Amino acid sequence: MPMSDKKAQRPIMALLDILGQRWVLRIIWELRDAPLTFRALRERCDQISPTVLNQRLALLRENGLVELGDAGYQPTQSCKDLGTLLMQLSDWSKSWDRTPEKPD
Amino acid sequence: MPMSDKKAQRPIMALLDILGQRWVLRIIWELRDAPLTFRALRERCDQISPTVLNQRLALLRENGLVELGDAGYQPTQSCKDLGTLLMQLSDWSKSWDRTPEKPD
DNA sequence: CTTCTTGCTACATATTATGTAGCGATACTT
DNA sequence: AAGTATCGCTACATAATATGTAGCAAGAAG
Protein backbone atom coordinates (compact mmCIF):
# COMPACT_ATOMS: atom_id res chain seq x y z
CA MET A 1 0.00 0.00 0.00
CA PRO A 2 1.40 3.35 -1.00
CA MET A 3 1.78 5.83 1.79
CA SER A 4 -0.48 8.38 0.18
CA ASP A 5 -3.40 5.99 0.41
CA LYS A 6 -3.86 6.61 4.08
CA LYS A 7 -5.79 9.76 3.34
CA ALA A 8 -4.32 12.29 5.62
CA GLN A 9 -7.03 13.66 7.80
CA ARG A 10 -5.37 16.78 9.12
CA PRO A 11 -4.11 19.31 6.60
CA ILE A 12 -0.58 19.20 7.91
CA MET A 13 -0.50 15.45 7.33
CA ALA A 14 -1.79 15.86 3.83
CA LEU A 15 0.81 18.51 3.19
CA LEU A 16 3.66 16.46 4.64
CA ASP A 17 2.52 13.55 2.51
CA ILE A 18 2.89 15.67 -0.58
CA LEU A 19 6.03 17.58 0.34
CA GLY A 20 7.68 14.40 1.55
CA GLN A 21 7.60 12.81 -1.85
CA ARG A 22 10.82 12.70 -3.75
CA TRP A 23 11.53 15.80 -5.85
CA VAL A 24 8.52 17.75 -4.62
CA LEU A 25 10.40 20.22 -2.44
CA ARG A 26 12.99 20.60 -5.15
CA ILE A 27 10.39 21.32 -7.81
CA ILE A 28 8.72 23.99 -5.70
CA TRP A 29 12.10 25.46 -4.96
CA GLU A 30 13.06 25.64 -8.63
CA LEU A 31 9.81 27.36 -9.49
CA ARG A 32 10.31 30.05 -6.86
CA ASP A 33 11.51 32.79 -9.21
CA ALA A 34 10.09 32.40 -12.67
CA PRO A 35 7.92 29.95 -14.57
CA LEU A 36 9.74 27.04 -16.18
CA THR A 37 8.73 24.77 -19.01
CA PHE A 38 8.53 21.05 -18.41
CA ARG A 39 11.86 20.59 -20.10
CA ALA A 40 13.56 23.47 -18.36
CA LEU A 41 12.33 22.17 -15.05
CA ARG A 42 13.81 18.80 -15.87
CA GLU A 43 17.20 20.36 -16.47
CA ARG A 44 17.06 22.28 -13.19
CA CYS A 45 16.20 19.08 -11.36
CA ASP A 46 19.27 17.16 -12.50
CA GLN A 47 17.42 15.70 -15.47
CA ILE A 48 14.84 13.96 -13.32
CA SER A 49 13.03 11.36 -15.34
CA PRO A 50 10.01 12.77 -17.16
CA THR A 51 7.82 10.02 -15.79
CA VAL A 52 8.29 11.14 -12.23
CA LEU A 53 8.34 14.81 -13.05
CA ASN A 54 4.97 14.45 -14.68
CA GLN A 55 3.59 12.49 -11.76
CA ARG A 56 4.75 15.16 -9.33
CA LEU A 57 3.45 18.00 -11.43
CA ALA A 58 0.11 16.26 -11.68
CA LEU A 59 0.04 15.88 -7.92
CA LEU A 60 0.96 19.50 -7.34
CA ARG A 61 -1.62 20.69 -9.83
CA GLU A 62 -4.34 18.52 -8.35
CA ASN A 63 -3.62 20.07 -5.00
CA GLY A 64 -3.63 23.64 -6.15
CA LEU A 65 0.05 24.24 -5.62
CA VAL A 66 1.29 24.56 -9.17
CA GLU A 67 -0.33 25.53 -12.44
CA LEU A 68 0.64 25.51 -16.09
CA GLY A 69 0.55 29.00 -17.56
CA ASP A 70 1.66 30.39 -20.89
CA ALA A 71 5.24 30.80 -19.74
CA GLY A 72 5.40 27.34 -18.22
CA TYR A 73 4.86 25.80 -14.81
CA GLN A 74 4.52 28.22 -11.92
CA PRO A 75 3.43 28.20 -8.31
CA THR A 76 -0.17 29.17 -7.68
CA GLN A 77 -0.96 32.16 -5.54
CA SER A 78 -1.65 29.78 -2.70
CA CYS A 79 1.75 28.18 -3.09
CA LYS A 80 3.67 31.44 -3.09
CA ASP A 81 3.47 31.59 0.70
CA LEU A 82 4.84 28.10 0.79
CA GLY A 83 7.71 29.30 -1.35
CA THR A 84 8.38 31.99 1.22
CA LEU A 85 8.67 29.30 3.82
CA LEU A 86 11.19 27.53 1.63
CA MET A 87 13.18 30.74 1.49
CA GLN A 88 13.27 30.73 5.27
CA LEU A 89 14.41 27.16 5.04
CA SER A 90 17.21 28.33 2.80
CA ASP A 91 18.19 31.01 5.29
CA TRP A 92 18.18 28.48 8.07
CA SER A 93 20.29 26.06 6.07
CA LYS A 94 23.09 28.59 5.88
CA SER A 95 23.69 28.44 9.60
CA TRP A 96 23.05 24.73 9.79
CA ASP A 97 25.77 22.74 11.47
CA ARG A 98 25.78 19.47 9.62
CA THR A 99 27.91 17.54 12.09
CA PRO A 100 26.42 14.98 14.45
CA GLU A 101 25.94 15.85 18.09
CA LYS A 102 28.67 13.62 19.40
CA PRO A 103 28.62 13.39 23.20
CA ASP A 104 32.20 11.99 22.89
CA MET B 1 22.49 6.47 -9.17
CA PRO B 2 20.66 7.56 -6.06
CA MET B 3 19.74 11.18 -5.89
CA SER B 4 21.71 11.81 -2.73
CA ASP B 5 24.94 10.92 -4.48
CA LYS B 6 25.10 14.21 -6.29
CA LYS B 7 26.54 15.86 -3.23
CA ALA B 8 24.55 18.99 -2.87
CA GLN B 9 26.88 21.90 -3.00
CA ARG B 10 24.68 24.63 -1.55
CA PRO B 11 23.22 24.06 1.89
CA ILE B 12 19.67 24.48 0.73
CA MET B 13 20.18 21.72 -1.82
CA ALA B 14 21.65 19.46 0.81
CA LEU B 15 18.74 20.22 3.07
CA LEU B 16 16.14 19.63 0.38
CA ASP B 17 17.84 16.34 -0.44
CA ILE B 18 17.39 15.23 3.14
CA LEU B 19 13.94 16.65 3.79
CA GLY B 20 12.72 15.37 0.45
CA GLN B 21 13.27 11.76 1.41
CA ARG B 22 10.24 9.77 2.30
CA TRP B 23 9.24 9.96 5.98
CA VAL B 24 11.81 12.57 6.92
CA LEU B 25 9.44 15.50 7.30
CA ARG B 26 7.02 13.28 9.13
CA ILE B 27 9.67 12.06 11.53
CA ILE B 28 10.77 15.60 12.36
CA TRP B 29 7.16 16.54 12.79
CA GLU B 30 6.45 13.71 15.20
CA LEU B 31 9.46 14.61 17.30
CA ARG B 32 8.40 18.24 17.65
CA ASP B 33 6.98 17.94 21.17
CA ALA B 34 8.65 15.25 23.17
CA PRO B 35 11.32 12.59 22.64
CA LEU B 36 10.08 9.28 21.31
CA THR B 37 11.60 5.83 21.44
CA PHE B 38 12.32 4.01 18.22
CA ARG B 39 9.22 1.94 18.69
CA ALA B 40 6.99 4.81 19.70
CA LEU B 41 8.17 6.73 16.68
CA ARG B 42 7.26 3.78 14.50
CA GLU B 43 3.73 3.79 15.84
CA ARG B 44 3.35 7.51 15.23
CA CYS B 45 4.54 7.07 11.68
CA ASP B 46 1.87 4.55 10.70
CA GLN B 47 4.12 1.61 11.60
CA ILE B 48 6.77 2.56 9.08
CA SER B 49 9.11 -0.36 8.50
CA PRO B 50 11.98 -0.38 10.95
CA THR B 51 14.46 -0.71 8.11
CA VAL B 52 13.57 2.64 6.67
CA LEU B 53 13.04 4.30 10.01
CA ASN B 54 16.53 3.32 11.02
CA GLN B 55 17.96 4.56 7.73
CA ARG B 56 16.26 7.90 8.16
CA LEU B 57 17.27 8.27 11.78
CA ALA B 58 20.85 7.48 10.82
CA LEU B 59 20.68 10.15 8.13
CA LEU B 60 19.22 12.70 10.50
CA ARG B 61 21.75 11.92 13.19
CA GLU B 62 24.66 12.12 10.76
CA ASN B 63 23.47 15.53 9.78
CA GLY B 64 23.04 16.88 13.25
CA LEU B 65 19.27 17.12 13.13
CA VAL B 66 18.26 14.40 15.54
CA GLU B 67 19.96 12.73 18.47
CA LEU B 68 19.24 9.77 20.69
CA GLY B 69 18.95 10.84 24.33
CA ASP B 70 17.91 8.99 27.43
CA ALA B 71 14.22 9.56 26.77
CA GLY B 72 14.44 8.56 23.13
CA TYR B 73 14.97 10.31 19.83
CA GLN B 74 14.73 14.07 19.87
CA PRO B 75 15.56 16.99 17.63
CA THR B 76 18.90 18.62 18.25
CA GLN B 77 19.10 22.26 19.24
CA SER B 78 19.92 23.05 15.64
CA CYS B 79 16.82 21.25 14.44
CA LYS B 80 14.45 22.99 16.80
CA ASP B 81 14.33 26.03 14.54
CA LEU B 82 13.50 23.71 11.71
CA GLY B 83 10.64 22.38 13.77
CA THR B 84 9.39 25.92 14.19
CA LEU B 85 9.33 26.21 10.42
CA LEU B 86 7.25 23.06 10.26
CA MET B 87 4.81 24.64 12.71
CA GLN B 88 4.46 27.53 10.29
CA LEU B 89 3.89 24.96 7.60
CA SER B 90 1.12 23.55 9.72
CA ASP B 91 -0.43 26.98 10.13
CA TRP B 92 -0.24 27.56 6.42
CA SER B 93 -1.81 24.20 5.66
CA LYS B 94 -4.94 25.20 7.54
CA SER B 95 -5.77 27.89 5.03
CA TRP B 96 -4.59 25.84 2.10
CA ASP B 97 -7.10 25.48 -0.69
CA ARG B 98 -6.48 22.02 -2.05
CA THR B 99 -8.47 22.41 -5.25
CA PRO B 100 -6.78 22.86 -8.62
CA GLU B 101 -6.71 26.27 -10.22
CA LYS B 102 -9.12 25.44 -12.95
CA PRO B 103 -9.46 28.21 -15.56
CA ASP B 104 -12.57 26.22 -16.63
C1' DC C 1 7.00 19.35 -46.26
C1' DT C 2 10.74 20.19 -42.97
C1' DT C 3 12.35 21.66 -38.67
C1' DC C 4 11.76 23.44 -34.31
C1' DT C 5 9.90 23.14 -29.43
C1' DT C 6 6.25 21.93 -26.53
C1' DG C 7 4.14 18.49 -22.86
C1' DC C 8 4.21 14.06 -22.10
C1' DT C 9 4.11 8.53 -22.61
C1' DA C 10 6.28 3.64 -22.94
C1' DC C 11 8.92 0.35 -20.98
C1' DA C 12 12.75 -2.40 -19.44
C1' DT C 13 15.99 -2.03 -15.59
C1' DA C 14 17.59 -0.53 -11.12
C1' DT C 15 16.68 1.29 -6.70
C1' DT C 16 13.93 1.75 -2.56
C1' DA C 17 10.15 0.60 0.67
C1' DT C 18 7.15 -2.79 2.99
C1' DG C 19 5.99 -6.35 6.18
C1' DT C 20 7.20 -9.83 9.28
C1' DA C 21 10.16 -12.22 12.19
C1' DG C 22 13.43 -12.10 15.46
C1' DC C 23 18.32 -11.06 17.56
C1' DG C 24 21.20 -9.23 21.29
C1' DA C 25 21.33 -6.09 25.09
C1' DT C 26 19.48 -4.18 29.30
C1' DA C 27 16.41 -4.07 33.25
C1' DC C 28 13.17 -5.64 36.51
C1' DT C 29 10.63 -9.71 39.00
C1' DT C 30 10.35 -13.80 41.04
C1' DA D 1 19.09 -18.09 38.04
C1' DA D 2 15.14 -17.97 35.18
C1' DG D 3 11.34 -15.60 33.29
C1' DT D 4 9.35 -11.45 31.21
C1' DA D 5 9.42 -7.04 29.05
C1' DT D 6 11.43 -3.46 26.98
C1' DC D 7 14.92 -1.31 24.12
C1' DG D 8 17.37 -0.28 19.33
C1' DC D 9 17.92 -2.49 15.43
C1' DT D 10 18.81 -6.30 11.53
C1' DA D 11 17.47 -9.95 7.86
C1' DC D 12 15.22 -10.87 3.93
C1' DA D 13 11.76 -11.97 0.54
C1' DT D 14 8.18 -9.26 -1.92
C1' DA D 15 6.09 -5.15 -3.68
C1' DA D 16 6.21 -0.44 -5.04
C1' DT D 17 8.70 3.38 -7.09
C1' DA D 18 12.35 5.74 -9.78
C1' DT D 19 15.67 5.87 -13.61
C1' DG D 20 17.13 6.33 -18.26
C1' DT D 21 16.30 6.31 -23.01
C1' DA D 22 13.51 6.64 -26.89
C1' DG D 23 10.02 8.68 -29.11
C1' DC D 24 4.95 10.29 -29.99
C1' DA D 25 1.54 13.89 -31.02
C1' DA D 26 0.54 18.79 -31.29
C1' DG D 27 1.60 23.41 -32.40
C1' DA D 28 4.40 27.17 -34.54
C1' DA D 29 7.55 28.89 -38.15
C1' DG D 30 9.90 28.72 -42.51
Note the helical H segments in A6-96.
Answer: 11-19, 24-30, 38-44, 50-62, 77-94
**What pLDDT does residue B104 have?**
46
Q: What is the pLDDT of residue A104?
A: 47
Question: Which DSSP state fits A65?
Answer: S
Q: Are B35 and B73 in contact (CB under 8 A)?
A: yes
Looking at residues B16-33, what average pLDDT do you find? Answer: 97
Predicted local confidence at residue B100, as pLDDT: 87
Is the per-residue pLDDT at B69 higher than 50? yes
Given this model, what pLDDT does residue A55 score?
98
Determine, yes or no, domain membership for B51: yes
**Does residue B98 form part of some domain?**
no
Pairing of strands A72-75, B72-75: unpaired
Task: Tell me the mean pLDDT in the region B46-71.
Answer: 97
**Which CATH number covers residue A76?**
1.10.10.10
In-domain check, residue B22: yes
Distance CA A46, CA A49 (A): 9
In a domain, B27, yes or no: yes
Residues above pLDDT 70, as percent of chain A: 89
User: Which residues of chain A does B88 touch, with a Cβ-Cβ cutoff of 8 Å?
Assistant: 85, 88
Which domain, by its residues, includes A64? 3-84
Structure confidence at residue A3 (pLDDT) = 61
Judge whether A15 lies within some domain: yes
CA distance B50 to chain A (A): 15
Q: Of B77, B13, B95, B88, whose CA–CA distance to A90 is shortest?
A: B13
Q: Is residue B96 part of a domain?
A: no
pLDDT above 90: residue B64: yes
Q: Per CB distance under 8 Å, which residues of A are interface residues toward B?
A: 3, 6, 11-12, 14-16, 19-26, 29, 46, 61-64, 67, 76, 78, 81-82, 85, 88-90, 92-94, 96-101
Q: What is the arithmetic mean of pLDDT over A62-71? A: 96
What Cα–Cα distance (Å) separates residue B38 from each residue in B15, B27, B56, B72?
Answer: 23, 11, 11, 7
Query: Residue A6: is its pLDDT beyond 60?
Result: no
User: How confident is the model over A4-19, as a mean pLDDT?
Assistant: 83
Q: Is B66 part of any domain?
A: yes
Tally of domains within chain B = 1
pLDDT of residue B1 exceeding 60, the answer is no
Q: Is residue A101 part of a domain?
A: no
Residues A60, A27: contact at Cβ < 8 Å?
yes
Comparing A97 with A23, the larger pLDDT belongs to: A23
**How many Å from the CA of A56 to C1' of C7?**
14
